[in-house]
Amino acid sequence: MDGLAFETERAMIAIIPTQKVLSDTLPRLLNGSWTFSRLSGLRSHSWYLSTQNTYHNYPIAGPTMQLKNHAPSGALLASLLVAPQIASAFYLPGVAPTTYKPGELVPLYVNSIRPVAAPDALLHSVVSYDYYQPHFQFCQPEGGPKSVGESLGSILFGDRIKTSPFELKMKQNETCKMLCPTTYKQGVAFYVNDKIRQGMSLNWLVDGLPAGQRIKDELTGTEFYNPGFLMGQVDAEDHVTFNNHYDILIEYHEVSGNPDQLRVVGVLVQPESKKYTKDIPKESTDVCLSNFEPLELKEDGETKVQFTYSVYWIPSQTAWATRWDKYLHVFDPKIHWFSLINSAVIVVFLTLTVVSVLVRALRKDIARYNRLDQINLDDLSGTSALEDGVQEDSGWKLVHGDVFRTPSYPMLLSVFLGNGAQLFVMTGFTIAFALLGFLSPSNRGSLGTIILFLYTILGFVGGYTSARIYKSMGGEKWKMNIILTPVLVPGIVFGTFFLLNLFLWAKESSGAVPFTTMLVIILIWFIISVPLSVTGSWLGFRAAPMEPPVRTNQIPRQIPPVTTYLKPIPSMLLVGILPFGAIFVELYFIMSSIWFSKIYYMFGFLFLCYGLMILTCATVTILMVYFLLCAENYNWQWRAFLAAGASAGYIFLNALIYWASKLSLSGLAGSVLYIGYSALISFLFFILTGSIGFFSSWWFVRKIYSSIKID
């Protein structure tokens, strides 16, 4: 249950200034803080204000900003009550803590500019951009920005981390510090305003923590930090304002009470739009504390913009090991539990049904068949009531001479099954590592890196499985099997990914994977994954084939017509919907995390959903195969694979519904990217669930036919 404890909500202490000027905010900082609210966890501008006493006993660092002491409030007492839970929080491994001394420089890195929900709660773009793209004209550090080293997974997931001109010195407050002046011309202003309307957000990193805003979930009343902040605002009259001032509030923690050992435990940024009327000096001043009109970029002329920022250091009781807790939030956890309970009920029902078939019907059938084998052949004239009952109730024995007949296209089926086994093991290990905390968000790109690493080294599993299945099916083109297993499915995935990446290159997106990274992936593929797959295939072909428990007749048996629900399309629709139902709710949160740039960490729920999906997929496919065999249809191999894999069709259909309800993409590139990536994920899910359905049905068929006596 550590994975679920990993997802518990922690008490958190935060502070945020409002969008009013800082001079209007400081008195409120002394007595409380502003909190924001939004619907469904999506950024919007339907903010409301509430005052809550926080930081009563925690002064803001610096000689000029000391908070008064007040009596403990209800919020503070509640925080103290949950303090033991905070102290025993689940530790997220992956990054070693960095300790700073007062006055020491704390680097602020900038990441890609990514789309989030616009004011209408819809996503208007799926394309991210480099922070220093010339159109945005953000201030650059002296000597130009430099890239920060990233993992392969971080690059694949679109991170482009670079240095910035911001100077943050530990425990030193600074007000209205000038960054740089710039001028936005007509065309550039139109471009930036369009990105603001699309809901583009800036993403900064301080000591590995994302800079964000403090949000309050209306459903649960829980407060949390939401990574990223908007580039600008759009009011009800479609007036676009551009944020050119940033109030940066950094929470720090003293290690064991030592004032010379300080660690960053929280980062908040409150952007503001200020139309300065005079030049701002380079040194820190209090100019930005005055009232200014919002800054609007003129689309019919030039607009002079001055970028400024303020830094405030705030002591916090949050320990370094639990600093990510305030960023990790479960939206409406009751939905997750309801989904799990609902899926568990379905799995229990299906499992009991399968057990009933195995224990009652099959055991009775097997006993009848074995008893018939002991009766004199003269009694088996075809008119016996006992024989008729057996034939009527249990037609599956009648196809014993054909049930292990080689299916059509055994090469393709074995290649799919090998890659499915590889995906199955990779997914299981990935979720297990995530459940143990090794893929924490503090280690950026760890999820993508571990997926690529596991899929590469598990090429051995794919090659071995494909070879054993193909040899057991009587396949003779073993060289072709060895080649296709590590090339066909990965080639389809890489080819689709490369084509979609061309659209990102054309849009000058930071999410476009560099060409050198593509070469690295190809080298990993052919230098590591392919040889491992070939080794597994070689061992698989050297092993003895898995002999069927019954002999196969030379002449195929004629297949009688089947009822409607056992025909290919209806059976696929019926079987595929149940595994999809087991993961539907969790799939919604995963898609929201991918497309709305949120942190997904609910791996405890995901682990349980994955287990329920496996059980659902296996049991419902076994039932379908049993009914198919009772109808004297022995072509179960492809039917089991396609019926279980049909859940991928529901996933793709769900993605289309999500596209219509949550996204409003303008332009061809965004739609192609969304549909392309959704189709790619659905294809991999098709291979995964199809393999689960086949292997469970294969075990079932071997089990029942090895239990009867065949002359």
Write out pLDDT tens, residues 387-416.
444 444 457 888 888 899 999 999 999 999
- Region 42-52: mean pLDDT is 30
The encoded tokens of residue 425 equal 């093991």
- CA 329 vs CA 9, 10, 584, 586, 653: distances in Å: 7, 9, 20, 14, 28
Question: Domain check: are 148 and 273 in the same one?
Answer: yes
Domain membership of residue 27 (yes or no) is: no
Nearest to 619 by CA among 638, 644, 649, 645: 644
Q: Rounded distance, CA 431 to CA 18, Å?
A: 40
- Region 625-633: mean pLDDT is 90
Q: State residue 195's pLDDT score.
A: 93
- CA 685 vs CA 234, 420, 682: distances in Å: 39, 9, 5
Q: State residue 238's pLDDT score.
A: 83
Q: State residue 335's pLDDT score.
A: 76
Please check the confidence at residue 538 and state whether its pLDDT lies above 90.
yes
Question: Domain check: are 313 and 342 in the same one?
Answer: no
Evaluate whether 57 touches 69 at the Cβ level (below 8 Å). yes
Q: What is the pLDDT of residues 566-615, one digit of tens each?
A: 899 999 999 999 899 888 888 888 888 888 888 887 888 888 889 989 99
Question: Domain check: are 165 and 285 in the same one?
Answer: yes
Evaluate whether 443 touches 517 at the Cβ level (below 8 Å). no
Mean pLDDT of the chain: 81
Domain membership of residue 379 (yes or no) is: no
Residue with structure tokens 């409301």? 48
Torsional sign, CA 696, 697, 701, 707: positive
Question: Domain check: are 360 and 273 in the same one?
Answer: no
Q: What is the pLDDT of residues 332-381, one digit of tens each?
A: 667 777 777 877 887 788 778 777 776 766 676 667 666 665 554 445 44
Q: Rounded distance, CA 114 to CA 127, Å?
A: 7
Q: What is the pLDDT of residues 146-163, one digit of tens each?
A: 999 888 989 998 899 999
Domain membership of residue 43 (yes or no) is: no
Q: Rounded distance, CA 450 to CA 319, Å?
A: 28
Question: Domain check: are 316 and 352 in the same one?
Answer: no
Please check the confidence at residue 185 and state whether its pLDDT lies above 50.
yes
Please check the confidence at residue 74 and state whether its pLDDT lies above 60.
no
Q: What percent of the chain has pLDDT over 90?
A: 49
How many alpha carbons fall within 13 Å on the CB side of residue 299?
9
Question: Domain check: are 315 and 411 in the same one?
Answer: no
Q: Rounded distance, CA 226 to CA 598, Å?
A: 8
Which one of 306, 328, 350 terminates a domain? 328
Which one of 328, 353, 378 terminates a domain? 328
Question: Domain check: are 347 and 320 in the same one?
Answer: no
Neighbours of 192 (CB within 10 A): 23
Question: Domain check: are 129 and 266 in the same one?
Answer: yes
- Region 249-264: mean pLDDT is 93
Q: State residue 29's pLDDT score.
A: 35
Which one of 280, 302, 328 terminates a domain? 328
Highest mean predicted confidence (pLDDT) among 222-231, 360-369, 426-435: 426-435
* Confidence band, pLDDT 50/70/90 cuts, at residue 327: confident
Please check the confidence at residue 177 and state whether its pLDDT lies above 70.
yes
Q: State residue 351's pLDDT score.
A: 77
Lowest mean pLDDT among 11-25, 397-411, 466-480: 11-25
* Confidence band, pLDDT 50/70/90 cuts, at residue 288: confident
Q: According to DSSP H, which parts of 564-602 are helical?
A: 568-595
Please check the confidence at residue 21 and state whether its pLDDT lies above 70.
no
Please give the residue range of the domain that contains residue 254: 102-328
The encoded tokens of residue 514 equal 């560099």
Domain membership of residue 546 (yes or no) is: yes
Evaluate whether 130 touches 82 at the Cβ level (below 8 Å). no
Torsional sign, CA 271, 97, 432, 8: negative
* Confidence band, pLDDT 50/70/90 cuts, at residue 662: confident
Question: Domain check: are 315 and 339 in the same one?
Answer: no
Strand blocks (E) in 595-692? none
Q: State residue 490's pLDDT score.
A: 96
Question: Domain check: are 307 and 337 in the same one?
Answer: no
Reported as type and span, the H/E element at residue 353 is: helix 333-356
Q: State residue 366's pLDDT score.
A: 67
DSSP of 479-538: HHHHHHTTTHHHHHHHHHHHHHHHHHHHTT-TTSPPHHHHHHHHHHIIIIIHHHHHHHHH
Domain membership of residue 2 (yes or no) is: no
- Region 167-174: mean pLDDT is 93
Domain total in the chain: 2
Neighbours of 290 (CB within 10 A): 13
- CA 290 vs CA 23, 28, 81, 172, 617: distances in Å: 7, 16, 40, 22, 63
Q: State residue 217's pLDDT score.
A: 73
Domain membership of residue 605 (yes or no) is: yes
The encoded tokens of residue 179 equal 């960054």
Domain membership of residue 495 (yes or no) is: yes
Please check the confidence at residue 241 and state whether its pLDDT lies above 70.
yes
Domain membership of residue 72 (yes or no) is: no
The encoded tokens of residue 589 equal 């949160």
Question: Domain check: are 262 and 336 in the same one?
Answer: no
Question: Domain check: are 277 and 356 in the same one?
Answer: no
Q: State residue 706's pLDDT score.
A: 84
Helices 515-524 & 446-457 angle (0-180, nearest 10):
30
